[in-house]
A and B are shown apart, each in its own frame.
Chain A
Amino acid sequence: MFPAIKINGSTIEAVPAVHYRLEFAREVNKLCFCYETRPEAVAVELGPHLTSAIVTWMKELGVSPLKETELPCMLGLLYNNRLIHPEYQETALVLQAHSGKPLNEISPELRRQFLNYSDKYLAGLSSTDSIFEAIRCSIELNIPVYGIDMDEFSARQGKRVLVEEPNGRDFGLPQYVFKYSGIAAMCRDPYVDGRREYTMAARLKSLAGQHKRILFTCGLAHWEMLQKLIKDPAIRPAEILIPEGSYNFTRVIIHPRIAVTFMDIYPVLTTLYERNRQNPLNNSKDRLSIPEAGRICHNILEKVCSRYFIEYKTCSKEKKTNYNIQRIPDFERLVSNMQIVKQHFAPSLADLIDCARSMMTPEFCDLLSTQLMDIDRPWASSGQFPDLPMVSRLPDNSEQKENKVTVDFFNLTESAKDLMHPKPTVKKRSGPFTIDYRNAIPVPEYLLRFWKWEDEPDVPRGTGGCFDWVWPPCEALLFGAAYEASKMAVTRSNEHVSAVFEGSLYNGLDIKTTIRSATTGEKKIYIRKPSSTRKTFYPDGKKPEPTVFIFDDPSPETKSKWSLLIAGTNLRSHLNDKTGFDKIVSKYGGYFVSSISRIRYQPVPSETAGLVVSYSILDGITAFGNPCINAKQGAQWLEDNNFKACPVLEDTSIDTLTDYYRKEHNMEISEKDWKTAMIRFAIPFAKGRIVVVAPRNFRVSNKLHFEARKRNISIDQLPLSYFPVEQIAEMRQRFIVRAKDNDGLTFPPEAEKALGQKADKYLELLPLYMQQQLRKK
């Protein structure tokens, strides 16, 4: 017998559920399979809009009455939030008064912490959740499904209550609901949940008038109240009036580290569920049988230990101390004691990792998290769904140690396949935002921080969680040349001074002055002489000027491409002025472009394969001043220049860049004529001048000179032939190498070997100030 309510001759069979636990999804499936209980309609605790978005998507994913399907793990819908819980009204007022800013200008971090307000909501299409199972069954049975909850509501800080774990095989829904729905109800939020339950009850009543048998599934906490409200004659049936206004649901791939939040206690359970689950129309006898969670945990630990043992046996002698085999029994005992004190049938993923971290070496923790995250099939990835952006958590490197107090930020990345990379690479990134997980308590970031995902889209240099940096000697040589050029280039001055004729006419007679002199009776002849007090520049490396190198004009068939490099990731953690930085980032985006170049990809030399990520030849480059050899140097450069030294963008595409110049500098830059574009890119960022190093026959057009003069800067040229041919050839090479850390601080020794040079070669060519930036530890 399922918990059921009869009204007006209709039966509502309910599955009040603990979210994401497969026991409850299985009950839903059972109800739909049994002929006697098969519903005519399904109702779920989701808003009507969200429900219909899910139905449409599930159908596109192949869910249909005709076949068995497997839901990818995991996709989700992201949508905007607009509401703050009324409980925070007072705080919102205090916050505004204290900061002197309206709410929308207060940082998302503070909004989250003070007002529990998140920018977005994320709903994960979780196979093991009763709600998604119910929607799926409704499509398979070809019956209507109604989202009877409200689409929008605010959230306050969640409260947790202790209910017994549903336990696999012996699980009985009615007993469970009877025992725990009251306790679960204690975490209800009377304001928001009260209104939602009222709405749901009224809508259920109206549905009961239309269908004889309805399957309804909702969170366990709502069940007590819903029962009361449905029985209450004062609550009138209400149609589901789909409110006006459109919701923007963004379909996303959920990064596995986040997806675990929407899953049963072990991720692999999702796959087991999918493999055992059947379309309710399928008549086969064997219904869903899934091993107990305890067994699964046992298997996981067994695998981890045997791997650990093998690694121990096969590793070199010096590394043996990284393994503490003899402590495994204690670890296992701690895990089982933990189960006792937590009253769990099986230890949670978090408990397992926590115990491992407190008992075992990092090697063990690595193996354990890898095994826990193994779902026996690939996680949904950009490779599989190239059109979907992926939502992932931004790494927070500012605090190395675990920390419960930080606010998590997320972003969306769009990937694309690139010929140069075997895996999809990140093409575009959204700015950071905060997220609230619907119905779920997030698995803390620090637990899975060290887990590496094979299908992680590759990130072009310098973006979040990225290790790919230009090989420092390439940068040092190029920027060393720029430094040299800035000392050598001569400002072509158009200013003249009048001087008394002393034998050389220079630029001809200065008629006006000569006449003036005649009228005063001086009677001297004046000529025009180029100003000898030329502007001189003392480049110091602290506030460097932009330099443009134009190396070559490739024949039209050899296509070169735009390439934007950035100052680094995790810049924030290396800055003192974090507020200034945050302001810029929230206004323009998180990408500080340190150079813009035209490159041609080359095959990676075989001896460097596996170390060098890509190899290219430069046709030209606009360098905004600092090589940003690592993130620390990048950060200091930005800060020295008040974050005004270079364009700041939301992603590193050329279109975004030209948009930026149009919007921020009122410049229409055509990428067709790349040489002109390169010089123009530099103009807004020059303080006094731009040095252009180009072949002798290259002429900076008068239009460009004019544009520069208008901004009170000069464009000074130095012939490329100033530099020896071999040096030019080397300057044009760009190797991108995977560093050992995010910030490009250290490189593997193998890379030095393969490339035949030390990572600090040519550093002495840079201005002293820049060398010091790099020496800083």
Chain B
Amino acid sequence: MAENDSKISMRNKKVYQSEPFSPRAEYFNKFTGRESELRFVTAAWIAGDSSLPMSPLLIGEPGVGKNRLIYELAQKTGRQLYIFQGHEDVTSEDLACTVRFSDQTGSVMDYMISPLVTAMYNGGICFIDEIGKIRPRALALLVSVLDERRYIDSTLLGERIHAHPGFRFVAATNTADLNLLPEFIISRMRPQINIGYPPREEIDDILREQCKGIKKEVEKLIDLFWMLWTDHGGKIGAIAPRDAIYLFGWASKLSSFETTGGPKTLMESSLEKPYQLTEGHSFTGIRPEHLKQAFQKLFTDRPAIKD
């Protein structure tokens, strides 16, 4: 087996890097709109010899597309993207380096540098997702990364790692968690960019893209969707892309379930004649009833939107 090339050497210590994230194209729909947000983050990241890049904080409701925006930016700027997932149990040292028992003969422990440090080392982008979920104490190490010092001290490694000039930083938080962030972090994260719901046309475009196979019917379905949404108390356009995508995904499943013969076929299936779990032509057979059913399931059975 060839040696893992993610292993680097830091002052005689062999250290494993974190894996960069590379979005797999087949799992992603086409990216739509968000021009001004893309520009905003880009403007914050432009830096040169005499000026440091800024560290934007994206703020928005769940599912509006904060992650997606960053994936897109990483691709557009051609940089490696390292994602650090924030949660309640992150410790201060997790942000820099962790150790684990080695699978290699000859060494007992392996050092694993965090996505943040890997990005700093390689000049990639570090994205801390859900930064608001990390406890304030654990964020202390980040301070020196975010100001003009641009380094991080790892006690475990016994190293100070300075950021590569190409290093860029961004974090995201749900609106609700914003006030959990300590002042010493908030004040260093600028600009603060609100990621609102995309305008209606962008949602429409996302749905059109999703339902490419039924160009003709999709317009009516989209209209119907917005009507259901307004009946339900929502504002037109005020929906997270995730919910919209999910809704149409569900409708599509309902339709393909129907084409496979529906409940009857499922019941009659057997080992000899198994029920097909893979969808055939998704997003092609959606009819208004499917959309209505899916809508009912997803939204109506939940309490109405309050504004």
Interface residues of A (CB under 8 A from B): 90-91, 94-95, 98-99, 110, 113-114, 157, 324, 327, 330, 333-334, 337-338, 340-342, 354-355, 358-359, 398-399, 401-406
Binary contact readout B203-239 vs A (1 if CB under 8 angstroms, 0 otherwise)? 0000000000000000110011011001000011110
- With a cutoff of 8 Å between Cβ atoms, the chain B residues found around residue A91 in the complex are 219, 223
Contact B196 A403 (CB under 8 A): yes
CB-based contact A342/B200 at 8 Å: no
Q: Which among B46, B219, B238 is the interface contact of A403 at CB below 8 angstroms?
A: B238
Q: Which residues of A contact B223 (CB under 8 A)?
A: 90-91, 94-95, 114
Q: Is B307 at the interface (CB under 8 A from chain A)?
A: yes
Question: What is the minimal beta-carbon distance from B102 to any residue of chain A, in angstroms?
Answer: 44
Give chain A residues whose Cβ lies under 8 Å from the Cβ of B156: none
Which residue of B44, B196, B219 is within 8 Å of A402 (Cβ)?
Answer: B196
Nearest Cβ distance between residue B176 and chain A, in whole angstroms?
Answer: 12
**Contacts A113-B236, A340-B43; A330 near B197 (Cβ below 8 A):** no
* Pairs A–B under 8 Å by Cβ, sample size 7: A113-B236, A341-B39, A341-B46, A358-B40, A358-B193, A398-B307, A399-B307
* A404 B196 Cβ-Cβ under 8 A: yes
Interface positions, chain B 162-221, Cβ under 8 Å from A, are 187, 190-194, 196-197, 199-201, 219-220
Contact check, A405 vs B197: say whether CB atoms are below 8 A apart: yes
Q: Is the CB of A405 within 8 A of B236?
A: yes
A92 CB to closest chain B CB (Å) equals 10
Complex Cα–Cα for A355 and B190 (A): 10
Are A405 and B54 in contact, CB atoms less than 8 angstroms apart? Answer: no
Contacting residues, chain B, for A337 (C-beta < 8 A) = 42-44, 46
Select one of B39, B43, B46, B190 contacting A327, CB under 8 A: B190
Contact of A94 among B220, B230, B237, B238 (CB under 8 A): B220
Chain B residues near A406 (CB, 8 Å)? 235
Nearest chain A residue, comparing its CB with the CB of B36: A354
- Least Cβ distance of B76 to chain A in Å? 11
Q: Do B191 and A355 touch (CB < 8 A)? A: yes
Q: Which residues of A contact B43 (CB under 8 A)?
A: 334, 337-338, 340-341
Q: How far is the CA of A337 from the CA of B48 in the complex (A)?
A: 11
Q: Which 9 A-B pairs have the closest CB atoms?
A: A358-B191, A405-B237, A337-B43, A113-B236, A338-B43, A337-B46, A341-B39, A405-B238, A98-B227
By a CB distance below 8 angstroms, the chain A residues around B190 are: 327, 330, 358-359
Beyond A358-B192, A399-B307: 16 further Cβ-contacts under 8 Å? A98-B224, A324-B187, A327-B190, A334-B44, A334-B191, A338-B40, A340-B46, A341-B46, A355-B191, A359-B191, A398-B307, A403-B197, A404-B197, A405-B196, A405-B237, A405-B238
Q: Does the CB pair A90–B219 fall under 8 Å?
A: yes
A114 in contact with B226 given A330-B54, A337-B43, A358-B193 (CB within 8 Å): yes
Q: How far is the CA of A340 from the CA of B230 in the complex (A)?
A: 39
Q: Min CB distance, A369 to chain B, in Å?
A: 17
- Beta-carbon contacts of B40-54 to A below 8 Å, as 1s and 0s? 101110100001001
CB-CB under 8 A from A334, the residues of chain B are 43-44, 54, 191
Given the complex, which residues of B lie within 8 Å of A157, measured CB to CB?
A: 201
- In Å, the complex CA distance between A354 and B36 comes to 11
By a CB distance below 8 angstroms, the chain B residues around A324 are 187
Q: Shortest Cβ distance from B171 into chain A, in angstroms?
A: 14
Residue of B nearest to A88 (CB): B223
Per-residue A-contact encoding for B18-48, CB less than 8 Å = 1, 0 else? 0000000000000000000001101110100
The one of A333, A340, A342, A354 in contact with B51, judged by C-beta atoms closer than 8 angstroms, is: A333
Least CB distance, A86 to chain B, in whole angstroms: 14
CB closest residue in chain A, given B197: A405
Chain B residues with a Cβ closer than 8 Å to the other chain, count: 32
A398: chain B residues at CB < 8 Å are 307
Give CA–CA (A754, B211) in the complex, Å.
66
Where chain A touches its partner, the secondary structure class is: helix
Residues of B with C-beta under 8 A to A342: 39
For B192, what are the chain A residues with a Cβ–Cβ distance below 8 Å? 358-359
* B44 proximity list for chain A (CB < 8 A): 334, 337
Rounded to whole angstroms, the CA-CA distance of A110 and B200 in the bound complex is 13
Q: With both chains docked as a complex, state the minimum distance between the C-beta of A459 and any C-beta of chain B, in angstroms.
A: 25
Nearest to A157 among chain B residues (CB) is B201
Q: Cβ of A355: which chain B residues have Cβ within 8 Å of it?
A: 191
Contact A405 to B191, CB < 8 A, known contacts A113-B236, A114-B226, A337-B44: no
Q: What is the CA–CA distance of A268 and B297 in the complex, to the nearest angstrom?
A: 54
Task: Return the CB mask of B104-118 against A: 1 if under 8 Å, else 0.
Answer: 000000000000000
Q: How far is the CA of A354 from the CA of B39 in the complex (A)?
A: 12
Query: Are B194 and A402 interface neighbours, CB within 8 A?
Result: yes
- Contact: A405 with B224, CB < 8 Å? no
* Shortest beta-carbon distance from B49 to chain A in Å: 13
How far, in whole Å, are A330 and B307 apart by their CA atoms in the complex?
36
Provide the residues of chain A in CB contact with B197, threshold 8 Å: 403-405
Q: What mask results when residues 52 to 74 of chain B are scored 1 for a CB within 8 Å of chain A, else 0?
A: 00101000000000000000000
A338 to B35 Cα, complex, angstroms: 12
Question: Once the chains are docked, how many angstroms separate the CA of A354 from the CA of B235?
Answer: 24
- Residues on B with beta carbons closer than 8 Å to the beta carbon of A338: 39-40, 43
Does B200 lie within 8 Å of A95, measured CB to CB? no
Chain A residues with CB below 8 A from B235, complex form: 403, 405-406
Question: What distance in Å separates the Cβ of A2 from its nearest Cβ neighbour in chain B?
Answer: 34
Cβ A94 vs Cβ B193 within 8 A: no
A453 to chain B, nearest CB (A): 25
The chain A residue sitting closest to B228, CB to CB, is A98
Q: How far is the CA of A359 from the CA of B194 in the complex (A)?
A: 12
Residues of B within 8 A of A113 (CB): 200, 226, 236-237
B199 pairs with A404, CB closer than 8 A: yes
Query: What B residues does A110 contact at CB under 8 A?
Result: 230, 236
CA–CA, A157 to B51, complex, Å?
41
- Judge whether B42 and A341 touch: CB under 8 Å: yes
Which residues of A lie under 8 Å from residue B194 when comparing CB positions?
358, 401-402
From residue B209, how far is it (CB to closest CB) to chain A in Å? Answer: 18
Closest to A350 in B: B36
A16 to B40, CA, bound (A): 31
- B146 CB to closest chain A CB, in angstroms? 12
A358 to B197, CA, bound (A): 17
| Chain A residues, Cβ within 8 Å of B56 | 358
Closest A-chain residue to B39, C-beta based? A341
B-side contacts of A327, CB under 8 Å? 190
Contacts of A403 in B (CB 8 A): 196-197, 235, 238
